[in-house]
């Protein structure tokens, strides 16, 4: 069972916004922390429910829940009852779309899913989520969704807000639905600092998606548990100097390096693999995994006991044999031509030599392996959710766009 993180956070009383439409360098350490919390909620919803309500007194969480008349027991049950689903892989295109909306909200001082115009660097702000992910070159989308909270104080604050989903119809819970939707495979998040425009101090946007024909991802994070010894990634604990070796059943290996914030991922075909994390030639841990058609997450905590084995260096190649010098054969001096003598005629019998039958070498051509048929991925139905942005204490009604 995963251990829940124990950070305590501030929460404000502004209403959240959501919109959902079905259809490298890696993240910063702050965004990596949000990705870890998101995958924690997707894979361990019961633990996430306990974490979301672990502190009701500090940082105004209890006040916020009372202001929005949140039924704590029901909200906790809504989170815990979600089924465990596959973890999300990082996607730079979706992160670009998220960054565009966060920067737009910071510029305008308005929490919204509706964009428009351009930013100071010339970035076009698409009006809709579909516009923004298209502008970011995220292709062949089969599902997509977006969460936004423009009044967050921290990553943990935003995650609790999305999980509890206060201010929205408790029978809908659109932010929680986005966080835990099984169709999603990819995610890109943005956390933008803002002050002086009425939003902030952290403007947070999450964009989720899936693409037709995607390979499953092996993903995870390597961390040293040094900021808070809780067996859970915190910003600042990631290691960017770790090699992740992935070895298939045939002994073929692929290697990726962790990002600066500690995360890693690699696309794989279905099959059985051995995963090995190492720093240089020192192995941290080795384990087997099975990949089917969904993402798989494997984390490495450097504070845990290492295997402490050292990879053997590759065997030295045998030296090439020294060439044997070639000695020229002695050439006899030519003999003088004999004095011609006419011999008597004789009959010389002629022997015809036997001819050996030549050896015929037959080269066998292997039968080519047939190309497997392509698998068609069905496109899910389209559904859209959206809520109007409201300021603190402006009432609890919501509309569907």
Average pLDDT over residues 354-379: 32
Q: What is the pLDDT of residue 179?
A: 98
Distance CA 78, CA 174 (A): 12
Q: What distance in Å separates the CA atoms of residue 14 and residue 72, rounded to the nearest whole number?
A: 18
pTM of the model: 0.75
Counting Cα atoms < 13 Å in the Cβ hemisphere of 356 gives: 3
Residue 338 in this model has a pLDDT that exceeds 80: no
Give the 3-state secondary structure of residue 271. Answer: strand
> Which pLDDT band, with edges at 50, 70 and 90, does 74 fall under?
very high
- Average predicted confidence (pLDDT) for the chain: 79
What's residue 329's pLDDT? 41
**Residue 236: DSSP 8-state:** T
| Confidence check: pLDDT of 248 > 80 | yes
**Cβ contact 98:209 at 8 Å:** no
148-191: pLDDT as tens digits: 999 999 999 999 999 999 998 889 999 999 999 999 999 999 99
Can you give the pLDDT at residue 75?
A: 97
Q: Which residue has the tokens 């689903």?
A: 85
Q: How far apart are CA 87 and CA 271, in angstroms?
A: 18
Identify the DSSP state of 310: B
pLDDT digits (tens, 9 = 90+) for 266-275: 999 999 999 9
Please determine, for residue 353, whether its predicted confidence score (pLDDT) is greater than 80.
no
* 3-state SS class at 105: helix
Is 80 exceeded by the pLDDT of residue 199? Answer: yes
């Amino acid at each position: 069972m995963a251990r829940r993180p124990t950070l305590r956070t501030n929460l404000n009383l502004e209403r959240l916004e959501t919109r959902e439409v079905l259809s490298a360098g890696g993240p910063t350490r702050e965004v990596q922390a949000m990705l870890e919390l998101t995958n924690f909620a997707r894979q361990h919803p019961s633990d996430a429910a306990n974490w979301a309500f672990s502190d009701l007194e500090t940082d105004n969480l209890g006040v916020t829940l009372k202001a929005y008349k949140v039924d704590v027991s029901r909200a906790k049950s809504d989170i815990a009852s979600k089924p465990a689903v596959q973890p999300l892989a990082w996607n730079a295109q979706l992160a670009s779309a998220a960054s565009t909306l966060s920067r737009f909200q910071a510029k305008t001082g308005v929490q919204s899913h509706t964009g428009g115009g351009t930013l100071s660097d010339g970035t076009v702000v698409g009006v809709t989520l579909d516009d923004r992910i298209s502008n970011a070159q995220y292709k062949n989308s089969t599902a997509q969704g977006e969460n936004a909270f423009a009044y967050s104080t921290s990553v943990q604050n935003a995650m609790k807000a999305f999980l509890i989903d206060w201010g929205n119809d408790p029978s809908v819970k659109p932010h929680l639905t986005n966080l835990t939707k099984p169709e999603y495979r990819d995610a890109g998040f943005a956390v933008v600092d803002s002050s002086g425009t009425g939003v902030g101090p952290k403007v947070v946007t999450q964009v989720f998606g899936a693409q037709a024909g995607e390979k499953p991802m092996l993903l995870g994070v390597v961390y040293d548990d040094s900021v808070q010894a809780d067996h859970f990634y915190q910003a600042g604990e990631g290691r960017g100097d770790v090699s992740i070796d992935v070895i298939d059943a045939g002994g073929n290996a692929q290697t990726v390096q962790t990002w600066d914030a500690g995360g890693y991922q690699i696309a794989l075909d279905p099959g059985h693999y051995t995963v090995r994390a190492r720093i240089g030639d020192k192995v941290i841990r080795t384990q087997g995994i099975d990949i089917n058609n969904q993402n798989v997450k494997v984390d490495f905590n450097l504070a845990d006991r290492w295997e402490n084995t050292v990879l053997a260096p590759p065997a030295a190649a045998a030296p090439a044999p020294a060439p044997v010098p070639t000695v020229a054969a002695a050439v006899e001096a030519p003999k003088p031509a004999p004095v011609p003598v006419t011999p008597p005629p004789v009959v010389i019998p002629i022997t015809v030599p036997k001819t050996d039958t030549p050896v015929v070498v037959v080269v066998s051509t292997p039968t080519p392996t047939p190309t497997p048929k392509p698998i068609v991925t069905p496109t899910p139905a389209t559904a859209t959710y959206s809520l109007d942005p409201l300021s603190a204490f402006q009432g609890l009604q919501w509309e569907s766009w």
